[in-house]
Amino acid sequence: MEQHWRQAPRPFAAFLAAPALWLAAFFVVPLGVVWAYSFGETIGLAGIAVTGSGANYARALDPLYLDVLVTSAGIAALTTLICLVLGFPVALAIAFAPPRAKGWLLMLVMLPFWTNLLIRTYALMAMLGTEGFINDALGWIGVGPLPLLHNGVAVVLGLVYVNLPFLILPVYAALDRLDRSLIEASLDLGASQLRTMREIVIPLALPGILTGLLITFIPALGSYLTPDLLGGPDSQMIANVIERQFKRANDWPFGAALSFLLMYLTFIAVAGQALLSRRRRARG
């Protein structure tokens, strides 16, 4: 029998105290400092004065930075769409695989997480470079070398490679919880597999699909390492601009404003997904 925390507040408080203090000390407080910096200005070489001015946010809305933000959103949206097209069939295959095979298939999906992102990115660079494996293979048939690196295509490919498991796993979880009797009933009543997929499987798995889209889009939008190593001047994303403000330009207040502008957009996306889920539950 479940026990409400109000019936025994002290044990709940004892268990909650350590993670709450950790979260406050290493997440909330540093985040609050950066948020305060976004309303400040740089003084001298290393000084920052919090003035309460919104000038940094006004500067962040300059067309130059808005263009980078729109480009970043476009790359993240394309990455998410490709992940959906590639990941949904994989999640479907895992969900309907024999029980013995599910564990192995899930392990293969999560296998990239066991390797550092930097190493995986350098592996992609070795494959996509002018003298990389792909161009070497194309050279055998008299094609190339093709410019596969340091452009938008390489960035999207890298982001798909990095973020694909984030879409497969929640979609798989939603598909694995489906009532199989509904699918069997649809097929027994004469519906084709395509119609069953469109009218039964996808609507029932929609919450997992929306969650997968969200947790794929958000990391892709804020990605820094992949576009920095695989991209060129025309495919830099907003995270690369933020990095330059903190490291090269030494303009921490403006970098903080750009960071929180990105965070505000993330909050809006999360709130929109929650609103859609609430409306769907209300209708259901």
Q: Read off the pLDDT of residues 169-221 as tens digits, 9 standing for 90 and up.
A: 999 999 888 888 888 888 888 888 888 888 888 888 888 898 899 899 999 99
CATH number for the domain that contains residue 91: 1.10.3720.10
pTM for this prediction: 0.84
| Rounded distance between C-alpha atoms, residue 205 and residue 201, angstroms | 6
Is residue 65 a contact partner of residue 241, using CB atoms and an 8 Å limit?
A: yes
* pLDDT: which is higher, 37 or 49: 37
Kindly report, residue by residue over 224-270, the tens digit of the pLDDT.
889 998 888 778 888 999 988 888 888 888 989 999 988 888 888 88
Is 45 part of any domain?
no
What pLDDT, on a 0 to 100 scale, did the predictor assign at position 49?
79
Is 227 part of any domain?
yes
Q: How many domains does one find in the chain?
A: 1
Is 138 part of any domain?
yes
Is 75 part of any domain?
yes
Is 10 part of any domain?
no
Kindly report, residue by residue over 152-169, the tens digit of the pLDDT.
889 999 999 999 999 999
Is 162 part of any domain?
yes
Is 175 part of any domain?
yes
Is 22 part of any domain?
no
Q: What is the extent of the structural domain holding 269? A: 70-283
| Rounded distance between C-alpha atoms, residue 106 and residue 169, angstroms | 8
